[in-house]
């Protein structure tokens, strides 16, 4: 029990610095949801059920622009395709866990939680003797992020109207992902994915409904997969 608790608390501790970007990100989503006409209860429920910051933000932006259900659903689905690769990367580390654990960790598998947890798995191999409690570290990462996201969404819904217009909190979105890049660009696959996605996002920025961002994500994922295959022995 002591080992489980120490792993959980270590995950909470290591995930905490990333919350500096998550808090304004969540508030931005809450403010955007109100501006798009979403009821506060629905906006808060989306943070608990969908639990995908980038997709939620794009959804409210497309709702405000009057986009239909089909392009919104397609865009949100494509944005979250990256989680498939996260799952593939994590599968070998959690396949020994019961299904209830794998379902819980799959729900908590977001950008920030993955970035911190995968480094733990890579830096600390499975112990030869004794139980493997690294999934408790993963749980600590996900729990910290989930709690912050719910609270920051609620703060945006409650206090968004009082935030002065000159407070440009849009910086939270790039700030959050820049922090992740510093963690994940240590290998050739991450570097290739980031480079291709960045070039594609700039080249396709004129596409409507932010579809250029979606295409850039897909191209970046493909580049990362190809680079990972080439780097294998």
pLDDT at 68 over 90: no
pLDDT tens sequence across 89-114: 888 899 989 999 999 999 999 888 98
Q: Please, what's the b/e burial string for 184-218 (b: 16 or more CB within 10 A of its CB; e: otherwise)?
A: beeeebbbbbbebbeebbeebeeeebbebbbbbbb
Q: How far is CA 146 from the centre of its chain?
A: 10
Taking residues 188-210, what's their average pLDDT?
82
How confident is the model at residue 183, as a pLDDT?
58
How confident is the model at residue 137, as a pLDDT?
95
How confident is the model at residue 7, as a pLDDT?
92
pLDDT tens sequence across 106-165: 999 988 898 889 888 888 777 666 678 899 999 999 999 999 999 999 998 988 666 655
Output the average pLDDT for the chain: 83
How confident is the model at residue 173, as a pLDDT?
58
Reported pTM: 0.75
Q: Please, what's the b/e burial string for 46-79 (b: 16 or more CB within 10 A of its CB; e: otherwise)?
A: bbeeebbbbbbbbbbbbbeeebeeeebeebbebb
How confident is the model at residue 24, as a pLDDT?
83
Confidence of residue 225 (pLDDT cuts 50, 70, 90): confident
How far apart, in whole angstroms, are the C-alpha atoms of residue 61 and residue 67?
A: 9
Taking residues 178-206, what's their average pLDDT?
77
| Token pair of 182 as six digits | 């510093």
Annotated domain spans of the chain:
3-167, 185-233
Task: Quote the percentage of the chain above a pLDDT of 90.
Answer: 26
- Compute how many other C-beta atoms are within 10 angstroms of the C-beta atom of residue 35: 14
* Residue 104: exposure state from Cβ atoms within 10 A (0-12, 13-18, ≥19): middle
Tokens 């866990």 belong to residue: 97
């Amino acid at each position: 029990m002591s080992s489980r608790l120490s792993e959980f608390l270590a995950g909470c501790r290591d995930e905490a610095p990333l919350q500096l970007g998550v808090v304004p990100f969540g508030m931005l989503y809450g403010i955007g949801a109100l501006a798009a006409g979403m009821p506060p209860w629905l906006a808060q429920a989306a943070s608990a059920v969908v639990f995908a910051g980038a997709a939620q933000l794009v959804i409210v932006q497309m709702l405000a622009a009057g986009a239909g259900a089909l392009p919104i659903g397609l865009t949100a689905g494509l944005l979250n395709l990256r989680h498939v690769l996260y799952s593939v990367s994590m599968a070998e580390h959690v396949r020994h866990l019961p299904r209830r654990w794998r379902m819980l960790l799959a729900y908590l598998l977001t950008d920030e939680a993955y970035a911190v947890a995968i480094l733990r798995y890579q830096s600390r191999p499975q112990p030869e003797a004794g139980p493997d409690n690294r999934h408790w570290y993963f749980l600590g990462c996900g729990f910290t992020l989930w709690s912050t996201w719910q609270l920051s969404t609620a703060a945006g819904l409650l206090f968004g109207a009082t935030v002065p217009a000159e407070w440009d909190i849009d910086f939270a979105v790039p700030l959050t992902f820049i922090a992740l890049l510093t963690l994940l660009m240590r290998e050739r696959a991450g570097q290739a994915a980031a480079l291709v996605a960045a070039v594609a996002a700039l080249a396709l920025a004129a596409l409507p409904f932010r579809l250029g961002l979606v295409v850039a994500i897909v191209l970046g994922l493909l580049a990362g997969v190809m680079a990972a295959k080439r780097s294998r022995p």
